[in-house]
Chains A and B, each alone.
Chain A
Amino acid sequence: MSASLAETGAAAPRWQDLARLAAERRSAEVESVVVRQLLTFVLDASPYAVPVERVREIVRVRPITPVPRVPSDMCGVISLRGEILEVIDLRLRLRLRAAPRGRASRIIVVHSVGGVAGVLVDGVSEVLAVPEDALRPAAATEAGNVETLCVRGDRFISLIDLDRVLGFDAQR
């Protein structure tokens, strides 16, 4: 009994030291670099992203009821646990080529300044934690839908300006 106690007694400080070191290292990292968490997805084979905090949920494509006399980039409405949400085809909204929905297609339910809406994308990729300094302002395009570009290796990911793309206040 005394032997085992001695062993734990000897081992304990080492474990504690390790844990403390790990914690210090982690908090130091957080302090020095502001990390943005982004949900990345695919549109027309290119990577795009929205801030994770704007995403409420990701759902599979379900029956979408078309709504008459609305712009063509609105697919229609879906029912999500009793809520009726509009679904915007992000390809069409960003003036990309139209394409049929595939197996990988998803509806990302996002918060925007004006409320909640669903956006249809070709497929959801991953959640990325990128340091703030990896973000580059996007070159001004005529659409102005891309807020910043995020560098990942030698690839750019377009971070979408949701408020602008969904244009709640512009249209309501």
Chain B
Amino acid sequence: MTTSTTTTTPKAPAADATRSDAAARSQRLRRFTMAVLGWGVALTIFFPIFWMILTGFKTEADAIADPSLIFSPTLDSYAEVQDRADYVKFAWNSVVVSFGSTLLALLIAVPSAYAMAFLPTKRTKGTLLWMLSTKMLPSVGVLVPIYLLFRDVGLLDTKLGLTIVYTLMNLPIVVWMLYTFFKDLPKDILEAGRMDGAGTLQEVWYLLLPLTLPGIASTGLLSVILSWNEAFWSLNLTTSQAAPLTAYIASFSSPEGLFWAKLSAASTMAIAPILVFGWLTQKQMVRGLTFGAVK
């Protein structure tokens, strides 16, 4: 090809620009479609919760009227629920049982997880797997003996009884999660502690616990979530005194019509803290809920 005296223009710059423009545009279109889809799905899924929260701000009349987003909001329902002594009692039951069982589980689990992480023996892995398998036992399978046992020992409808059940129910997951967090700690930090003269308790107090605190916290939160939401033992082992919020809400299952706003307000308050906990501990939940089978 002969070189001409004038510079041959390569492909016109305008055409180049059009091509990259088109690419950028299709990228933007894609982003837009994904956003529409993503938000559409998210809002649809979240809708029932949203609706419930909204209804709590309505008057009772508004609550049973045709569904509408337009109404005059009021805090009366929330106020009324909080004034009800029984709501407060049941909320308190939830708090005591959830946090109590979590605390207990943590206390029992820490030494166990420590032993498995730092003093492993040939049996350690087997023990860990066995512990996890107890969590897979269907509660309904042991409903009868537990119910009868509790009845005979006087633990039915007591916070203590429910706490004991929840502690045992969550223990495998708590041990398991603490074990994984302890193992994540670099071994040589604890060895350096030993070189410095730390005994076991000092190792745990000055080094292990401070450094695994985030993990312990998320384990605790997970346990609280699981206990708070538990809806089998709480429905069957409690009636009037020790019923947590799960049972309280369930007692309204036959509709009597005129108090949806209050019920919504009560339900919103019942689920709000757990929603927040759940949002905070998403990542660790996966670790705990799948027994580490998914990382």
Q: Do A and B bind each other?
A: no
- What is the interface of chain A, defined by CB distance below 8 A to chain B? none
- What is the interface of chain B, defined by CB distance below 8 A to chain A? none
